[in-house]
Amino acid sequence: MLDPIRSTRAVQPAPSLFATDGVRPVRRDVSPFRHEQQRRLAAVGLLLGGVLAASSAFAQTAPDPDWTTADMPSQAGRIFVVTGGTSGMGYEDARALAAAGAEVVIAARNPQRGDEAIGRIRAEVPDARVRFEAVDLADLSSVRAFGQRLGATLPRVDGLINNAAIMAPPERGTSVDGFELQFATNYAGHFVLTAELLPLLRRSEAPRVVTLSSVAIHRGGINFDDLQSTVSYQPMIAYAQSKTACLMFALELQRRSDANGWGIQSMAAHPGVAVTELVARGPGLESEQGRQWSAMREHLQTAAQGAVPTLYAATAPEARGGQYYGPTGPNEVSGPLGLATVPASASDPAAAARLWTLTEDLTGTRFR
């Protein structure tokens, strides 16, 4: 049986704001060391995200802050697709869902890493129903071929977790289709994948789509005048824009599901700042972000803890469409599970509808 994962942890040897007694988090006294730790964690959050300011048009229903993977109901008989499931939070999503009895399709670029991920999962969950499918989210022909393969082999999809991402490559890159690489991989590829899987999702009795955003969204919104960062490429600003687009997509998908009777619950989640490969494979460990991240690495969330908001959104009966889940500590870098802050730039329905229509035109995709 897998150990339940909370969205916070006690860090050793440094004192933690929340200690665990095996049942629920217990508040500790905050020491001068902890004040310094909080200051540095806040600095990481500000570096990634800036100052948080909330705005949301959806009714807010806060989750249990102590929810863990032990609270996840059985997922037997349900089918999930997880992008980027070979490492990081995506792997933890796939692992936890498989342990709960779900059938899981891990979608990523590298078949070797897919085989390794499946091997690790089956070492813990011998009867896991998990398979790998190759897809390159930066190549829309690959995304459509993947959707067609699933349409031919699956009876339905009960949950889609749009998790895969790249972050802040130092030089501007472009996708096969000519889009800025972060816009393509993090947002446009998932937009098209969701459209491709819409018929399978609508066959489910209770379909859910969970799209990953980031604390970085507080660094800016959507620049409709330079959506592909051709005039000016700033790595973290482009990343923030792609993740803002993901959040806007998740909220707009819920509005359109409600309007069209698709029956989908669409939610967004973010992990705070977690220890994954994202920094090393993006800006690099020698970058400003990398140095900040490395200095606080032992005090950041694990990938398993970072996955808690996503798993809550994907499986908890209390989770609701149109919500944004994440940690609730300082600058949402870590902390107990709760409602994440939706910036004003992501909560404007008119801007979300504009982005949706523009993305349909750019990708040649329609939701039907």
Which residues are catalytically annotated? Answer: 239
Give the separation between CA 133 and CA 139, rounded to whole angstroms.
Answer: 15
State both tokens at 236. 């973290």
Give the separation between CA 29 and CA 207, rounded to whole angstroms.
Answer: 43
Asked if residues 81 and 330 have their Cβ atoms less than 8 Å apart, the reply is no
Q: What torsion do the CA atoms of 21, 24, 29, 35 make, to the nearest 10 degrees?
A: 110
In three-state secondary structure terms, 283 is coil
Burial of 234 (0-12, 13-18, 19+ CB in 10 A): middle
Asked if residues 301 and 273 have their Cβ atoms less than 8 Å apart, the reply is yes
Phi-psi region of 337 (alpha: psi -120 to 50; beta: other; left: phi over 0): beta
Q: Which of 242, 112, 217, 229 is nearest to 164 (CA)?
A: 242
- Which alpha helices (DSSP H) does the chain contain, by range? 32-49, 88-99, 111-124, 140-153, 181-182, 189-202, 235-260, 278-281, 288-295, 303-306, 308-315, 349-363
Q: Which of 340, 281, 273 is nearest to 305 (CA)?
A: 273
Partners of 133 in the β-ladder: 107
